[in-house]
Amino acid sequence: LSLCPTVEMRKGNQSSHTDFIILGFPGLPEHQGLLLVLFITIYVLTLMENLVLIVTIKLNCQLHTPMYFFLGNLSLLEIFYVSVTVPKLLSNLLLGEKKISFNGCITQIFFFTLFVGVEIFTLSVMAYDRYTAICDPLHYLDIMNKRFCVQMVLSTWALSFLHALINTVPVLNLHFCGSNAISHFSCELPPLLQLSCTDATINEVVLFATLVVFGLSSFLLTLISYIHIISTILRIRSVVGRHKVFSTCSSHLIVVGLLYLTGFFLYMKPNTDSLDKVVAVFYCVVTPLLNPIIYSLRNQEVKEALRKALCGKGRALK
């Protein structure tokens, strides 16, 4: 996918940058080796955890339900999501090569925006799935049939593709002639817009508008689903019954909370360079690592499936 039609653009007597410098973590020069080991470990663990979860769902017939269909898609998405930024970050830390081409920067922004959008919409669809299972259990399988689930997944990708396209294509019209140093560990749209020599107000308005329209609509769908879910749970007289029903959506609620809290904090506040990077690391790197752990540790069916798989493999080795 090439999002930049030309490598060299000119405006007046100055030429636009054909590459940028990703500063990364310049305030920690003596800890670059430690950061390299840390990010490699997180990246490998993230890939392994999500792959194990995908394989477990695929091989266990008891997990072939709508909820785990979406969970499997979410785990696959986490692999794509973390692979957009971390490999380049590792390359920068290992080789000290912080340069990235204009094409590469725009492409990284496009796919990062795409995968973030897909994750947000997928979590909203999963909230609707839990709402249907808890609030309308008799019609759950009729509503959440295979065709509907596939349509929902395709819709999340289509909407996210549109979101990414709207935000990245207008960047091609900007002119970059001053500093080419991006104060971040990856190409992100807000710090890139700050480097533009031309007025990027329209781009900033479009970014804010799409965050509000797409993010708020997704958040409201999730919020409304959980209002109905909590209302239904509170009407259950048995404490054990309440706990059992709530446990089916508690993992999803934790993951949603982590995503929205870090996301809103990152994009809806004044810029604070060092704090932004800490939040971005958690948002882009740590969250994909935590999500499969949260779903595995708080989900009895997943834990049982993993236990059976490990026990079966152990017996096979004997």
Residue 218 structural domain: 18-317
Residue 82 lies in a domain: yes
Residue 155 lies in a domain: yes
| CATH number of the structural domain spanning residue 260 | 1.20.1070.10
**What predicted TM-score, i.e. pTM, was given to this entire model?**
0.83
Dist. CA 22–CA 183, nearest whole Å = 7
Count up the domains in the chain and report the number: 1
User: 100 — phi, psi (to 5°)?
Assistant: -140, 140
What local confidence, expressed as pLDDT, does residue 219 receive?
86
Residue 267 lies in a domain: yes
192-248: per-residue pLDDT in tens? 888 888 888 888 888 888 888 888 888 888 889 989 988 888 888 877 777 777 777
Q: Which residue ranges of the chain lie beneath pLDDT 70?
A: 1-17, 26-29, 264-276, 297-298, 309-318
What local confidence, expressed as pLDDT, does residue 10 receive?
40
What local confidence, expressed as pLDDT, does residue 193 receive?
86
What local confidence, expressed as pLDDT, does residue 80 receive?
92
What local confidence, expressed as pLDDT, does residue 115 receive?
92
What local confidence, expressed as pLDDT, does residue 13 receive?
38
Residue 5 lies in a domain: no
